[in-house]
């Protein structure tokens, strides 16, 4: 007898979010050396400038840690390039998924190669977002 769909099962989105190392707005501001009384507002301003990837599990602003160059206290330049290239139909969750999943070009996730193979990451992302043409 088939098992009924259980609401206790985690959703695909929840499993994906659980697999990504996320930090909150205050931690992201600390990494970026942003001093503010409103870390949530500061991160949202960066989002409006297309300068950072955020995810919203349970309505909370969370930031994937992989996009930070911890040595320089900045977002990797290639992340900014990807955000500029990202089609409007692509969500931050889908972009984070692409960055965090194994890719044949990198023998692992592109996120592990940020700051090292940036041109290859951009080229792979361009291929990924290219619309399929048939005929």
**53 within domain boundaries:** yes
**7 within domain boundaries:** no
Nearest to 68 by CA among 98, 95, 28, 35: 28
The structure's pTM equals 0.85
Residue-wise pLDDT tens digits, 117-134? 999 999 999 999 997 655
Please give the residue range of the domain that contains residue 66: 12-129
**6 within domain boundaries:** no
Q: Say how many domains are in the chain.
A: 1
Q: Is the pLDDT of residue 7 over 90?
A: no
**32 within domain boundaries:** yes
pLDDT at site 1: 45
Q: How many whole angstroms separate alpha carbon 32 and alpha carbon 42?
A: 11
**111 within domain boundaries:** yes
**34 within domain boundaries:** yes
Q: How many whole angstroms separate alpha carbon 121 and alpha carbon 56?
A: 25
pLDDT at site 132: 63
Q: Is the pLDDT of residue 93 over 80?
A: yes
**4 within domain boundaries:** no
**3 within domain boundaries:** no
pLDDT at site 134: 54
């Amino acid at each position: 007898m088939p098992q009924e769909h259980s609401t206790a099962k985690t959703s695909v989105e929840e499993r994906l979010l659980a697999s990504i190392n996320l930090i909150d707005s205050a931690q992201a501001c600390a990494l970026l050396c942003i001093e503010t009384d409103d870390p949530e507002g500061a991160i949202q301003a960066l989002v409006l400038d297309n300068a950072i990837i955020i995810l919203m599990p349970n309505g909370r602003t969370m930031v994937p840690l992989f996009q930070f160059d911890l040595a320089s206290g900045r977002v990797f330049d290639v992340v900014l390039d990807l955000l500029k290239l990202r089609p409007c139909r692509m969500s931050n969750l889908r972009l984070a998924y692409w960055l965090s999943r194994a890719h044949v070009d990198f023998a692992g996730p592109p996120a592990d190669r940020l700051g090292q193979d940036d041109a290859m990451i951009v080229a792979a992302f361009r291929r990924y977002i290219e619309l399929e043409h048939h005929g």
